[in-house]
Structure formats: C-alpha cells, structure tokens
Amino acid sequence: MSQPKRKGGLRLDPSVVQFQQQAASNKAAQTPRQRYDAARTRVRADVPEWLRDELDAIAEELSTSRTQLGAFLWAWAATRYREGDADLEEILHTSMANSRSINVDVDLDLDWLVERHQNAVANSAEGPKCAK
Amino acid sequence: MGNQTGSIVAIANQKGGVGKTTLAVHLAVAAARNHGQRVILVDLDPQGNATSWLLDGDLVDDVYRLMLLDEPPIKLVRGLRQWGIGLLGGNYRTGEALSMLAAVGKLGQVPQRIRPLARAADLVIIDMPPSRMAGFTEMLGSADWVIVPTKLERLSLEGVALLAQTVGDTDGPRLMGVVPNMCRARTNEHQDQMQDLTEAFGQAVWPPIPLTIRVTEASSYGTTLFDLVPDEAATYAMELIASRMMEAIR
C-alpha cells in the first residue's frame, strides 16, 4: 500500500527546496556518502613519475591502494622523524635548488635518493624488509 | 475603483539594486508572450531604467504627463510590437510630478491616474522606485498585488521587511511573492539568508533566480533572457515566476 500524502502545511516551492539542497554546508540534505566525502581530508602532492609508479607497484604488492599506501607512508615517516630516526632538516636544506616554477621558490633535488632507491630495488630480490 | 478588469502588480523593494526592473521587464514580456495577456508596463522609477531598456536608451515623460496632465491614461501608452506589451515610460520628471502633487496635497490622485490602465489591459505591471519617495505609498496603493524581489543579503532582506510593513500599513496590495534574485546556491551566506527568508515568508518565497552575467548582457543588448539565452537556469526561473504570477491573479 502506498504511503498516504500529507495535506496542507508549509509547502515550499520545489525550486526553493532545490536551492537549499545545493548547499555544500546543508548536511541535512546530504547523502551518507556525501557526508563521508565532506569529512575526508584530502591532500594533493606533486611527485615525480618514477615515485608514482613505485607507489603503485608497492601498493599492488601489498594489496592496497596508492592512497592508502601514501597515507601510511607519510604517517610512518612522520613518526620516524619525530622519534629522531631521520635528520630531515639537514636533508631538506642540502637538497634544495632554486625552482624555475613561478609557483614555488625551491625544488628538492633528490638525485641521491633516487640512486639509493634504485640500489634498494636492485637488492630487494628477496622482498622488502623494514623495521616497524 | 469600478470597471477594472485587469490586475495591477507592483514590483517593489525599498532597497535599490535588487532587480526590480529586470523582473518587471521579464514578467511583462513573459505574460504577454507565453500567457497571451494584454500587458502594460508602467515605469514609475524616476531612473527610467525599464523605459531605457525597452526603448533602446530613450527616456520619455509619459508618467509625468499621466500624473499632471488631463490626458486619458490609455492614450499615453506606447505599443511596443517587438515585446508585445504596452509601455508607460518614465524619466526624472516622474519625480518632479510627484513632488508637485505632494506640494499641493494631491498625492491621493495617484491611484486614480494609474488604476484606469487596468481597464485596457489584463495585467498592469508597475516598476516601483526604490526608497519611500513622495507618492511611494500612493503608487503602491494603486496595485492589487506586490511582488518583492530581493537579493539574499541583509540589507535587501531588510528592504523586504520594510516593504512588508508598508504593505501591511496600507489598505492596498496583497503580497504575492518574494523572489530571491542573484542567488548563489553553493554559498553558506546565501543558504543562511534563504533559510531566514523561508522562515519569514514560507511558501510566498518564489523560485530563486541564479546570479548570471546574462541579465547584464540582456539589458546591454536591449533584449531579454528569453531571447538571449532561452535555455539557461535564470531564464527558466523567470518563466516559472511568470507562471506563478499568472496562477495568482487568475
């Protein structure tokens, strides 16, 4: 049996209701998915192509997504830094080069890290091993 | 007033820049073209913007003559074949006429000059001046209905409240609808203001007209949204509002 329709009361113009449902902040009008998406914190990062490919490859090895892996690695690296395992200040300052982009002042010159990474990949035939 | 056949609808808000002229021009054209009405647009705003819009920049003193000279009102109406409407145009002399009537204590004659127009038309749309200038109440009192355009901002909404109060104080027109204009649905500010508006006026809040540069273009080119951009959201909103107006006066 179909739901009986209410009669009378305040009936706003459908176009007014539609206007109100277009709000980014109108949480009452959002679907659960929209609310979930609105609560997410998203970060975009510029990375070289090799790093993106490497993240994809590692994510596939670990049966996860690039996004999940990236979020984990950032958290993991931030924790290692806070625990004193990496002197990022020195590394960053010795790797900076003037940028040719008008949007940023400096670029990071990470050739030494790329080389180290390539060596690590070459030596990792037995699979990745790292401390937690 | 006896023998009246058509309805007189005033487009009014005591705040300027809310889109009264835009709404008046579009409602007049839509009522004539889409609803087959015989329409007279009366430009009572001394700025004469509606007149300039429809006469390609010309200003005329029809309203001055309507108010002060003893000519039959219907003889002053200009037929605008392009738009399918009649126009009683105005300019700064409208203000002069009203000041003169005020000086001699004859503002009470204003409705007697305007209302006979409704005998010759199905619909008379009045583009009202902003602010309560001399004769404002009398001009408003000539109408059967009032439509209030507003922007979704504090000062314009205060204009709506003021006008609602003026309408309540006069034994004249009934509030037909409040039209939110120049709206941006995705801004918090406009959503909040729309919330306030719907709480105050409920279903008298009519379809919102989205902010678009097309309105500016339409007035620049001396045309309407219906001809310039027939498939845009603002055009659909104008058509919806015209339909709502026609439903109300039938």
Interface confidence (ipTM) of the complex: 0.71
Whether B137 maps to a domain, the answer reads yes
Q: How far apart are CA B39 and CA B32, in angstroms?
A: 6
What pTM value is reported for the model?
Answer: 0.69
User: Nearest CA to CA, how far is A46 from chain B (Å)?
Assistant: 29
Q: Taking all residues of chain A, what is their mean pLDDT, rounded to a whole number? A: 80
Query: What is the model's pLDDT at position B12?
Result: 93
Q: How far apart are CA A120 and CA B39, in angstroms?
A: 83
Signed CA dihedral, B143, B147, B151, B157: sign only: positive
Neighbour-count burial of B231, counting CB atoms closer than 10 A to its CB (0-12 exposed, 13-18 middle, 19+ buried): exposed
Tell me the two tokens of residue B239.
């058509």
More confident residue, B2 or B188: B188
- A residues 5-64 near B, CB within 8 Å? 10-13, 15-16, 19-20, 22-26
Q: Taking CA atoms, what residue in A is nearest to B197?
A: A16
- B residues 219-248 near A, CB within 8 Å? 237, 240, 244
Whether B177 maps to a domain, the answer reads yes
Q: How far apart are CA B150 and CA B11, in angstroms?
A: 11
Q: Does the structure show a pLDDT above 80 at B123?
A: yes
Whether B140 maps to a domain, the answer reads yes
Q: Does the structure show a pLDDT above 70 at A125?
A: no
More confident residue, A29 or A101: A101
Neighbour-count burial of B236, counting CB atoms closer than 10 A to its CB (0-12 exposed, 13-18 middle, 19+ buried): middle
Contact B1, B114 (CB under 8 A): no
Contact A15 B208 (CB under 8 A): yes
pLDDT above 70 covers a percentage of chain A that reads: 79
Q: How far apart are CA A79 and CA A67, in angstroms?
A: 18
Contact B217, B188 (CB under 8 A): no
Contact A23 B240 (CB under 8 A): no
Contact A19 B208 (CB under 8 A): yes
More confident residue, A29 or B247: B247
Q: Taking all residues of chain B, what is their mean pLDDT, rounded to a whole number? A: 91
Q: How confident is the model at residue B179 (pLDDT cuts 50, 70, 90)?
A: very high
Distances (CA, A) of A85 to A70, A114, A115, B40: 19, 20, 21, 82
What average pLDDT does this structure show over A46-69?
Answer: 91
Q: What is the extent of the structural domain holding B55?
A: 7-245
Q: Which runs of consecutive H residues, i.e. helices, occur in A42-103?
A: 49-61, 66-82, 88-95
Contact B110, B66 (CB under 8 A): no
Q: How many CB atoms lie within 10 A of CB B3?
A: 8
Contact B11, B24 (CB under 8 A): yes
Out of A1-10, A23-32, B234-243, least confident range: A1-10
Contact B225, B53 (CB under 8 A): no
Out of A22-31, B9-18, B101-110, least confident range: A22-31
Look-up of token digits 């000279």: B69
**How many domains does the structure of chain B reveal?**
1
Contact A16 B202 (CB under 8 A): no
Q: How far apart are CA B43 and CA B45, in angstroms?
A: 6
Nearest CA to B150 out of B195, B197, B214 is that of B197
**Contact B155/A at CB under 8 A:** no
Whether B241 maps to a domain, the answer reads yes
Whether B240 maps to a domain, the answer reads yes
- CATH code of the domain covering residue B111: 3.40.50.300
Query: What is the model's pLDDT at position A106?
Result: 74
Q: How confident is the model at residue B1 (pLDDT cuts 50, 70, 90)?
A: very low
Q: How confident is the model at residue A101 (pLDDT cuts 50, 70, 90)?
A: confident
Residues 6+ apart with CB under 8 A from B66: B73, B76, B88, B113, B114
